[in-house]
Amino acid sequence: MRKKVKIGSVTIGGGYPVAIQSMCNIPFSRYGELEEQALALQEAGCEILRVSVPDQESASGLKKLKNALRIPLVADIHFDYRLALASIDSGADKIRINPGNIGGREQVYEVAHAAQRAGIPIRVGVNGGSLEKSLLERYRTPNARAIAESAFMNTVMLEDAGFSNIVVSMKSSEVKTMVESYRLFVRNKDFSYPLHVGVTEAGTPSLGLLKSAVGIGSLLLDGIGDTIRVSLTADPVAEIRAAKDLLKAIGLRREGIEVVSCPTCGRTTADTLSLAEYIETNFQQVKTPMRIAVMGCVVNGPGEARGCDFGVTGAKGEYMIFKEGKITKKVPESEIRAVIGEEIALLEKRKFL
Ligand code: SF4
């Protein structure tokens, strides 16, 4: 089991649930919009939120943003260790640095000592795109060995400063490289720090989601990963939905509705696609775990989706609600959406009691 690390009110590692995180993409110079986005992410279920701190204005702005949020706020720092110090002063709950580009050993020590005094963790955020020159010369390419070695070196640098409140990440835009880096890292039993897992620059929602599902998913299935970020070139709220779905697909979260829908085939007699989409988009506020089947035909649908809390299928202009493989109700097409809402409300009540 990985070591426990506390980021504000959220604990990762030590057997705690895998935490979902995301990052704002609006600068502090547009503070109003930034705060609005941060609140939207919090509302969507983001559990740890990161913001870029490229200048002193951003470092000072952290204080105001932190006061507006319930969730922990992480400052992302590159190149200038003074911004890390200023972010710690502003109350950041964690800082993310790439010790390889923060200015040198003395500067890393200074940041580590300040974080120690504030009682906050540091994420060693190694990225295949910004590896140390010495490693690139040795390995010629930012491969998994080079990335894992950078993570080891930089973790040791923090330990040398007497600091051990560490989270580690090793990102690459290549899924295979990223997965191999983490697998190499966890082989070394001397380092049991919790791991932040993600595929960097994963891309637009379609390919990015697939890359993240394969990369993050492979690691989580092996029990590797304590907090995840699904990076997408999109509104970051989409990252939260994707991360939740990923954890649900792996069976690490049970919150909310899971729609089980058939792929449809020549037997299809119901509008499976629009009903499945309707349920997924209109009941996102439901927290009670439940599985709802939307099946394309009455012949096989109820039997195939026997394990769900309830299911819906259609034939000849009407819909049928089924439970445990048996039809329990016939509903005219005009009423099916209202009836689905009633069934969901009933389940929420029953599972709550
Ligand atoms: S439930 Fe019916 S429509 Fe859907 S895939 Fe199975 S047989 Fe085809």
What is the distance in A from the centroid of ligand 1 to the CA of 268? 6
Mutate to test the pocket of ligand 1, among 261, 265, 275, 320 (most ligand atoms within 8 A of CB): 265
137 and 262 share one domain: no
What is the distance in A from the centroid of ligand 1 to the CA of 267? 6
The closest residue, in CA terms, to atom 7 on ligand 1 is 300
**The ligand 1 atom nearest the CA atom of 263:** 5
What is the distance in A from the centroid of ligand 1 to the CA of 294? 10
The residues lining ligand 1, judged by C-beta closer than 6 Å to any ligand atom, are 262-265, 267-268, 295-297, 300-301, 304
Q: Could you say which of 208, 228, 250 is where a domain stops?
A: 250
Count the domains in the chain: 2
**The ligand 1 atom nearest the CA atom of 297:** 2
216 and 274 share one domain: no
Domain harbouring 308, CATH code: 3.30.413.10
137 and 246 share one domain: yes
- 104-119 average pLDDT score: 95
What is the distance in A from the centroid of ligand 1 to the CA of 206? 26
Q: Could you say which of 235, 250, 265 is where a domain stops?
A: 250
Strand partners, 310: 292
Distances (CA, A) of 301 to 97, 247, 286: 52, 26, 24
What is the distance in A from the centroid of ligand 1 to the CA of 309? 18
289 and 219 share one domain: no
Q: Which residues contact 246 (CB under 8 A, 6 or more apart)?
A: 212, 213, 216, 217, 220, 228, 230
pLDDT at 319: 93
pLDDT at 270: 84
- 97-114 average pLDDT score: 89
221 and 281 share one domain: no
Q: Which token pair is 171? A: 């990102």
Task: Give the long-range contacts of residues 306-310, CB within 8 A, separation 24 or more.
Answer: 308/260, 309/347, 310/343, 310/347
290 and 323 share one domain: yes
Q: What is the pLDDT of residues 321-340, one digit of tens each?
A: 999 888 999 999 999 999 99
Q: What is the pLDDT of residues 237-290, one digit of tens each?
A: 999 999 999 999 999 988 899 999 999 999 998 888 999 999 999 998 898 999
297 and 261 share one domain: yes
- 9-29 average pLDDT score: 97
239 and 263 share one domain: no
> 36 falls in which pLDDT band (50, 70, 90)?
very high
242 and 268 share one domain: no
210 and 347 share one domain: no
Q: Is the pLDDT of residue 16 over 80?
A: yes
Q: Which residues contact 140 (CB under 8 A, 6 or more apart)?
A: none
Mean pLDDT of the chain: 93
Q: What is the pLDDT of residues 187-207, one digit of tens each?
A: 998 899 999 999 988 778 888
Q: What is the pLDDT of residues 118-142, one digit of tens each?
A: 999 999 999 988 888 899 999 999 9
The closest residue, in CA terms, to atom 8 on ligand 1 is 265
**The ligand 1 atom nearest the CA atom of 262:** 4
226 and 306 share one domain: no
What is the distance in A from the centroid of ligand 1 to the CA of 277? 17
- The neighbour count for residue 57, using CB atoms within 10 Å, is 12
- 42-69 average pLDDT score: 97
Packing angle of the helix pair 81-89, 105-118 (nearest 10 deg): 10
Residue 26: domain span? 5-250
Q: Could you say which of 224, 250, 276 is where a domain stops?
A: 250
Mutate to test the pocket of ligand 1, among 264, 294, 327 (most ligand atoms within 8 A of CB): 264
3-state secondary structure the chain: CCCCEEECCEEECCCCCCEEEEECCCCHHHHHHHHHHHHHHHHHCCCEEEEECCCHHHHHHHHHHHHHCCCCEEEECCCCHHHHHHHHHCCCCEEEECHHHCCCHHHHHHHHHHHHHHCCCEEEEEEHHHCCHHHHHHHCCCCHHHHHHHHHHHHHHHHHCCCCCEEEEEECCCHHHHHHHHHHHHHCCCCCCCEEECCCCCCCHHHHHHHHHHHHHHHHHCCCCCEEECCCCCCHHHHHHHHHHHHHHHCCCCCCEEEEECCCCCCCCCCHHHHHHHHHHHCCCCCCCEEEEECCCCCCHHHHCCCCCEEEEEECCEEEEEECCEEEEEEEHHHHHHHHHHHHHHHHHHHHC
pLDDT at 205: 83
What is the distance in A from the centroid of ligand 1 to the CA of 285? 29
Terminal-to-terminal C-alpha distance of the chain = 34
Domain harbouring 177, CATH code: 3.20.20.20
22 and 157 share one domain: yes
What is the distance in A from the centroid of ligand 1 to the CA of 321? 16
The closest residue, in CA terms, to atom 2 on ligand 1 is 297
Q: Is the pLDDT of residue 99 over 80?
A: no
